[in-house]
């Protein structure tokens, strides 16, 4: 089983290709017997190597644990553990701050 680093905005695309959600790990994964090359863009090593951040990623560490941005400039990193599709006061507050920062630029 290969665990993937799938941004929330791309979860439907990964699911359509055959990825499955592991609720215990809170991660998407490639089921055994599925062509893993379809998921290369979300493979942890591919994501870790996509930008030259000067940071190394320990084997098995999640992208959030090492503080790497895993998607475009509008990505909002979460510093807590919540379910992305359910309402969260901390996420709402962080989003409001991010929007205010963008408005002042």
Boundaries of every domain in the chain: 1-70, 73-105
In the numeric block, the tokens 């979300």 are attached to 42
- Cβ(71)–Cβ(84) under 8 Å? no
Give the pLDDT confidence score for residue 12 in this predicted structure.
92
**Other beta carbons within 10 Å of 87:** 8
- Kindly state the average pLDDT of the residues 63-73: 50
Give the pLDDT confidence score for residue 46 in this predicted structure.
61
**pTM of the full structure:** 0.45
**Choice between 94 and 4, residue whose per-residue pLDDT is larger:** 4
User: How many whole angstroms separate alpha carbon 66 and alpha carbon 1?
Assistant: 22
Residue 13 parent element (H or E): helix 11-17
Give the pLDDT confidence score for residue 53 in this predicted structure.
45
Total residues belonging to the chain = 105
């Amino acid at each position: 089983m290969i665990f993937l680093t799938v941004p929330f905005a791309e979860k439907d695309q990964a699911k359509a290709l055959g990825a499955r959600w592991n609720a215990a790990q809170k991660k998407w994964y490639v089921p055994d017997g599925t062509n893993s090359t379809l998921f290369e863009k979300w493979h942890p090593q591919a994501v870790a190597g996509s930008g030259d951040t000067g940071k190394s990623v320990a084997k098995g560490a999640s992208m959030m644990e090492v503080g790497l941005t895993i998607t475009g400039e509008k990505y909002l990193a979460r510093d807590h553990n919540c379910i992305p599709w359910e309402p969260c006061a901390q996420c709402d507050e962080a989003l409001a701050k991010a929007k205010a920062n963008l408005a002042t630029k």
